[in-house]
Amino acid sequence: MNIPVYRGEFGPVEAERLLWRAGFGPRPGEAAVFAKRGLDSAVQALTKPGRQRFTGAPARDEKGRPLAPRDAWGHDHLWWLDRMVRGTRPLMERMTLVWHDWFATSNEGVGSQGLMLRQNALLRRHWLGSFRQLVAAVTHDPAMLLWLSGTENTKWSPNENFARELMELFTLGAGRGYTERDVREQARALTGFRNDWREGVGPTRFRFDRERYDKGSKRVFGRRGRFDWNDACRLCVTHPKHASFFVPKLWGYFIPVAPPRATQRALELLYVRNGHAVRPVVDAILRHPLLYEGPRMVKSPVVYTAGLLRGAGRGIDTEAWTWLCANAGQQLFYPPNVSGWNDDRWLDTATYLVRWDIAGRVTRPAALDPNKVRAPFDADQLVARALAFWGDPPLSTGTRRVLRGYADRALATANQRWKKRSYPALVENSLRHLIAVSPDLQTS
């Protein structure tokens, strides 16, 4: 089966959408550069990037001090946001965010920023690699063992938490291909992990202890064997219903409508034939016509914030981004539950107000001082200048009309000399803000 490939024009508009869907938006001028590459080269630049580099000034707090992501509240969020803003491998960070949502683990239950950062590094290492290896690595990751009671799962008292989520949320989907007996038997296979506790350090020395492991025969998916934790992962990923769960779930992180039936079947075949490798599937999704011709997709609070900072050329210089993103519905390392974030609820009357605040805080340091800057007294020029501040993002005709009308009406109230002198700069500042909160920049 052939997987459709986008054959239309690949200009700056299409490149900008690709950079938002597979990263955190373009820096000024980056969409034009990617457009000149053409679709194939642009996708390859994302899926097979060069060495990670960081541009701009390192992240700091308000007092100019380096971040302390293992210790200070919210600095873990800032540390990762900094990688999204300054890093040169945006798809790697975006896939790490995908896996963070897929295998949702919250520090609310783990209680260790150090272990959460360790899990984050694990997800990044496996960003486009083997999903089977990723599942196995997550299964014995310390943060996950604490989050889903893995170290409490013993042969004397099997705990079903991880076994259930392994099938329901991570590999098969709710009620697909497994029974309650499979949950119980998988829990037995997953026994044996433990850790110590050290005063002043917390949980430490995570390891597999065969004395706690149930060595008996188990029956999983109708097969019998002395299965252990590694077998539990293998049985799930090689299950006949795994590929039909994996493909649409991964697809949904990039395209907001379901894949056509033929495309899904072809992607499933591609995935299985490549030994459950993620890269070929992502590569095909990023080339699919629906990514460029399909409906727009709402940006999550973190993607939105990182993208505005990239567009404005601003780095992490305040701790406010943590609580602002949290109030908008997405604090990194704190997904609401094991199901991850609900992408259908990113925008409502409360969270939109926070996004308004985020946009204002991003633009504030670069605001024009009407006492020092003489902006043109012309609505068209002010709109053009405000768009240039954001790297000339593509806007709909309706949005441009609203911005132009606002500028016209604001300038029309300048009925005194001092107003004619100061209003253009003030209008340009507000236009920058309005562009940032427009439907066009809330979605991609």
**Nearest of 328, 441, 347, 358 to residue 395 by alpha carbon:** 441
Strand intervals (E) in 199-236: 202-208, 218-220, 223-225
Domain residue ranges in the chain: 87-293, 367-444
Mean predicted confidence (pLDDT) in 385-396:
96
Q: How distant, in Å, are the alpha carbons of 27, 312, 336, 352, 442 from that of 364?
A: 18, 10, 31, 18, 19
Q: What is the 3-state secondary structure (H, E, C) of 144-172?
A: HHHHCCHHHCCCCCCCCHHHHHHHHHHHC
Residue 1 has pLDDT above 80, yes or no: no
Residue 216 has pLDDT above 90, yes or no: yes
pLDDT digits (tens, 9 = 90+) for 12-64: 999 999 999 999 999 999 999 999 999 999 999 999 999 999 999 999 999 99
pTM above 0.95, yes or no: yes
Residue 375 has pLDDT above 90, yes or no: yes
| CB-based burial, 253-285: b 16+ in 10 Å, e otherwise | bbbbeebeeebbbbbbebbbeeebbbebbbbbb
Among all chains, which residue has been given the structure tokens 């949005």?
Answer: 399
pLDDT value for 10: 98
Paired tokens of 343: 């992408």
Paired tokens of 49: 């990037």
* Element of type H or E holding 196: strand 193-198
pLDDT value for 201: 82
pLDDT > 70: percent of the chain: 100
pLDDT digits (tens, 9 = 90+) for 76-106: 999 999 999 999 999 999 999 999 999 999 9
Identify residue 161 by its one-letter amino acid code: N
Among all chains, which residue has been given the structure tokens 């800057």?
Answer: 373
Is 173 in contact with 236 (CB distance < 8 Å)?
Answer: no
Mean predicted confidence (pLDDT) in 128-142:
98
Is 232 in contact with 190 (CB distance < 8 Å)?
Answer: yes
